[in-house]
Amino acid sequence: MQIDFNKNSDGLVPAIVQDAATKNVLMLGYMNQEAFEKTQETQKVTFFSRSKQRLWTKGEESGNFLNLVDMQVDCDNDTLLVKVNPVGPTCHKGTDTCWAEENVQGYGFLSTLEDIIESRKNDQENPDSYVASLFRKGINKVAQKVGEEAVETVIEAKDDNDDLFLNESADLLFHYLILLKAKNFDLNAVVNILEQRH
């Protein structure tokens, strides 16, 4: 890996730290050649602290280390992407990230949809909510809907109408997310099993 530590007069390059599992950005630090080499040697992320003017291994006092998974350099050879497995919160203020965000696995819109389904599950007094009405009818009705949507998806898969197939696939996924919530699970529980099998 070629890193241009001489590009800046202080010999430092930015090091963007990313959780290897969740892909969330945890913090930004700076490395010089020595910090980079120590990180590789110890497998614990080490920076050059501009305030302390010395090498600083994240977690050396708190125990909240950043265990190295991988490092990559960008196209200009002057910025590092450091993928880690964090031990505890990353920020010195006790939060998961230096932006006070929770470091959880996210799946884009599917995570948003899970949150909406969860809110409907707990709002069973709303007569206009389709999701709430399914939860009120119980687990058997929710499971039955998943079965119906699965059959409809299979039928459309055998035809040539991609629009109908994709719409039935969306219905199936939506109802499956409802079933997961009805069983008090989320998508992450299923992804974890798939990762273990991989």
Task: Report how far apart, in Å, the C-alpha atoms of 105 and of each of 129, 131, 150 are.
Answer: 27, 24, 26
pLDDT value of residue 108: 85
Q: What is the pTM for the complete model shown?
A: 0.70
Look at 123-127, 148-152, 173-177 and tell me which has the smallest mean pLDDT.
123-127
The Cα 70–Cα 83 span in angstroms is 5
Mean pLDDT score of the chain? 94
**Residue among 2, 135, 147 at smallest CA distance from 76:** 2
Residue 157 has pLDDT above 80, yes or no: yes
Enumerate domains of the chain plus CATH numbers.
13-86 (3.10.20.810), 109-196 (1.10.287.1080)
Using the predicted structure, report yes or no on whether residue 40 has a pLDDT greater than 90. yes
| Residue 21 three-state SS | coil
User: In this structure, are residues 13 and 29 in contact, taking their beta carbons and an 8 Å threshold?
Assistant: no
As a whole number, mean pLDDT of residues 114-121 equals 91
pLDDT band at 107 (very low <50, low <70, confident <90, very high): confident
Over residues 89-113, the mean pLDDT reads 92
Q: Give the pLDDT of residue 124.
A: 61
pLDDT value of residue 28:
97
Average of per-residue pLDDT across 175-181 = 97
Give the per-residue pLDDT at 1: 86
> Which DSSP state fits 62?
T
